[in-house]
Structure 1
Amino acid sequence: MTTQRPDDGSRAEPSTSLAAGRVRAGGGIRAGGGIRAGVEAAGRFRIYLGAAPGVGKTYAMLDEAHRRRRRGGDVVIAMVETHARPATEAQVAGLEVVPRKTVEYRGARFEELDLEAVLARRPQVALIDELAHTNVPGSGRNEKRWQDVLELLAADIDVITNVNVQHIESLADVVEQITGIAVRERVPDAVIRSADQIELVDSSPEQLRRRMLHGNIFPPDLAGEALRGFFKTDTLTALRELTLRFLADETRGDLHERRSLARAETLWETAESVLVGVSTAPGADATLRRAARIAARLQADLHVAHVMPIEARPSDVKIATLRRLADDLGAHWSDLSGEDPATALVDFARQRQITQIVVGPGRRGRWLEIIGGGSTIRRLSRLAGDAGIDVHIIARAASPSAGSPDAGTRNPDRWLRGPDADSGTPTP
């Protein structure tokens, strides 16, 4: 169900559904410090997804909480940020609130989700704002709020949360191109795709700008700068389109999976699978994210391969960073040995029945340098073609971003989180 936040603060009404029941992807989302470590999630997981701050994600989440409570559900607010918006504050009334944990850090006091208190309370449903939030150091055992959510799911507690599209890991480079801002707080795609339900909370760019002018999103002293920056009409339009495309991919995935399950007894279907070759060249992270988006659209498994000379070891710091990104994207990493990268990639693809290979530019404008017998790209295309494998060449690398091996220290996403973003969690 899609909900749209009204300008006048009245109750949001349901409209057309764009995403319904989600099937947890492969049971790979687990709690306890990492996506593939710890106890497998058991509770049901709903995410409200928006294109920008102020579309009404928190309002819609609270509205759903009231509906469940009226039906007799045991619902608590584990963490909700109202940002002093009157309509949102009014929605909190009548709901049980689990007290937050107060933490002192670098001479300042912060309030964080009290994970232990919520686990001890054991509600049926917990509401948690801002899935991408980074916890204050020392506030608990998890660095990220999404890790707290996984622990609650593992404890058989249903979680309703929200996130903006710019915090999805595979879209980080696209968002940076649209906004000019490198988003530091990101949620792994595997976590997003593990949701049982993803619902769009939508608002037109014009409506968002009106709400901003009326002081319904940010305080008046911040509104002007926001309207000239992140809240420009073309930026909001591009982010809205990105959100709709992401939801469309998810909806197609549900339909494909349901059809496959329904026809499993009578029809053998070959599955798409994507392999991306990476190196330490600039732009490798952008190539990896692009491959993840291709895999998502194909509803395919994603494999990442780094080819090294036979005697080499994968010790490069940049490779370690890429491995973490691959894990966040839900990909399978492999270190391959071989003097010819093209042959190594195609042999690996044949063994794993991979149907698509993605490569990007190297330091000299190609994935690897020119070597004997023609370029690696040309030889890869020939070998893959003989094997019936499609090759995608990503010709342009995105600018360095917050999670990139070549990243700088850009200002955090001031307009991507809310009016108090600069006073939120400090950088350790």
Structure 2
Amino acid sequence: MTENHPYFRRKTPQELLDEIAEMNRGKLKLYVGAAPGVGKSYKMLQDAHDLKLEGIDAVIGLIECHGRRETEDLVKDLEVIPLKEMTYKGSIFRELHVEAIIERKPAVVIIDELAHTNIPGSKNLKRYMDVEEILEAGIHVMSAVNIQHLESVHDIVQQITRVAVRERVPDLFVQRASEIQLIDVTPETLRKRMSEGKIYGSDKIEQSLSHFFTVPNLSALRELALREVADDVDEKMEQISGNLSYGPIGVHEKILVCVGYGPTAEKLIRRGWRMANRLRAQLFILHAAKLPEESFTQEMREKMERWKLLSSQFNAVFLLEHERNRKPADIIIETATKYHVTQILLGQSARTRWEEIRKGSIVNTIMRKTENIDIHIVSDGKI
């Protein structure tokens, strides 16, 4: 490869500094499971014991045993860094003590329940942000998360289980993990563990078996976990094998997701991210507003903030356009042309906002006025 090759160039000083910072950053090993009780915490503790036998300084920052005796037995021979006590609404809570871990500076620290939301008043809103801080300090972290806590699969999980998962982790954080290990057991084994009281207390067993822990739910979540981990492996193999030597895959693919005020906007953004992630494509989120931003209602502002936050988590570019007597189709076309978009994602439920998609008006206009752009109309049930 020569310097004339389009992807051969000297690195900028900032890129070199970023590489040095990445070398000094701790590595994250993530244990992923389809549901609680598969054995993520147990496997983390086993691995920590193996590290200790090799002379590596491994400690526990936080572990959730949930009363499981086998897991509690593995804690005994490991150093546990005391949790930080915090008072909230007159009650005392215990959270991960980030400062104490950084001061102790072990080689490896176990931090369970990655998706956990911290008590108000904590330095960081979420535990994964605590982990990020510890990684930046050069400490390796072993952590665990269930597949339903991954941001991009939120809508799929809700469709499967009829449960809205509140605590979620951004995909981009998970993708930075140096290693992802799937902890897998069959649905039948998991239900047996549940019925024996090895996952939840006796007061929750019957309800869990008949609601979340059904065989169809667990089978679907297991398939989802297997697929997500397989995709991660494929991506890492692609990087290792050198398939990117002639430039980034999907460098010409750019996806534009168009969102309105309908109830499926956030679902559509997640769907767009999953498409962009598969294609290694750049993602843009567009909203065309009838009113200028300074005239937004409080509800509009709150929705906009949620969309911006989600866009930020997915490393997407959020675009807000004031209509100014322009038709939505024209705004989409202008945006697609400006950013060289190759695929456009529209939600069928947004037809009241984006003219009448079911009549094909927007689709026909876009197809007539653009070239080489694929248009995806996603129905409510498939978002």
Asked if TM exceeds 0.5, the reply is: yes
Q: Which runs of 4+ in 1 moved over 6 A?
A: none
Find 1:355's aligned residue among 334, 342, 359: 342
Rounded to whole Å, the distance in 2 between the matches of 1:237 and 1:68 is 33
Map 1:200-215; keep pairs closer than 5 Å. Answer: 200-215=182-197
2:365 aligns with 379
1:115 aligns with 98
1:128 aligns with 111
2:205 aligns with 223
| 2:47 pairs with 1:61 | no
1:15 aligns with none
CA displacement 1:55-104 (0-9 Å, x = unmatched): 01111111111121111111110010111101111111211110011222
Rounded to whole Å, the distance in 2 between the matches of 1:135 and 1:310 is 37
Per the normalisation by structure 1, the TM-score is 0.77
Residue 350 of structure 1: how far off its partner (Å): 3.4
Secondary structure of 2:380's aligned partner? coil
1:273 aligns with 254
Unmatched segments (≥5 aa) in structure 1: 1-26, 31-38, 400-428
Return closer, same or farther for 1:382/1:245 CA change in 2, 3 Å cut-off.
Answer: farther
Q: Is the 8 A contact 1:361 1:397 kept in 2?
A: no
Find 2:54's aligned residue among 68, 71, 77: 71
2:377 aligns with 393
2:72 aligns with 89
Return the letter of the residue paired with 1:297.
R
2:174 aligns with 192
Return the letter of the residue paired with 1:154.
E
1:137 aligns with 120
Count of equivalent residues:
357
Rounded to whole Å, the distance in 1 between the matches of 2:236 and 2:151 is 21
Rounded to whole Å, the distance in 2 between the matches of 1:297 and 1:289 is 12
Return closer, same or farther for 1:263/1:398 CA change in 2, 3 Å cut-off.
Answer: closer
2:288 aligns with 307
1:3 aligns with none
Rounded to whole Å, the distance in 1 between the matches of 2:67 and 2:40 is 15
Return the letter of the residue paired with 1:329.
F
Return closer, same or farther for 1:284/1:238 CA change in 2, 3 Å cut-off.
Answer: same
Return the letter of the residue paired with 1:144.
K
Give the % identical residues: 39
Residue 160 of structure 1: how far off its partner (Å): 0.9
| 2:319 pairs with 1:334 | yes
Return the letter of the residue paired with 1:360.
G
Secondary structure of 2:64's aligned partner? coil
Return the letter of the residue paired with 1:215.
G
Return closer, same or farther for 1:271/1:95 CA change in 2, 3 Å cut-off.
Answer: farther
Q: Is the 8 A contact 1:360 1:367 kept in 2?
A: no
**Alignment root-mean-square deviation, CA:** 2.7
Rounded to whole Å, the distance in 2 between the matches of 1:211 and 1:268 is 43
Per the normalisation by structure 2, the TM-score is 0.85
Map 1:169-180; keep pairs closer than 5 Å. Answer: 169-180=151-162
1:323 aligns with 308
Residue 309 of structure 1: how far off its partner (Å): 5.3
Return the letter of the residue paired with 2:309.
R
Map 1:398-409; keep pairs closer than 5 Å. Answer: none
Secondary structure of 2:192's aligned partner? helix
- More helix, by proportion: 2
Unmatched segments (≥5 aa) in structure 2: 1-14
Return closer, same or farther for 1:125/1:382 CA change in 2, 3 Å cut-off.
Answer: farther
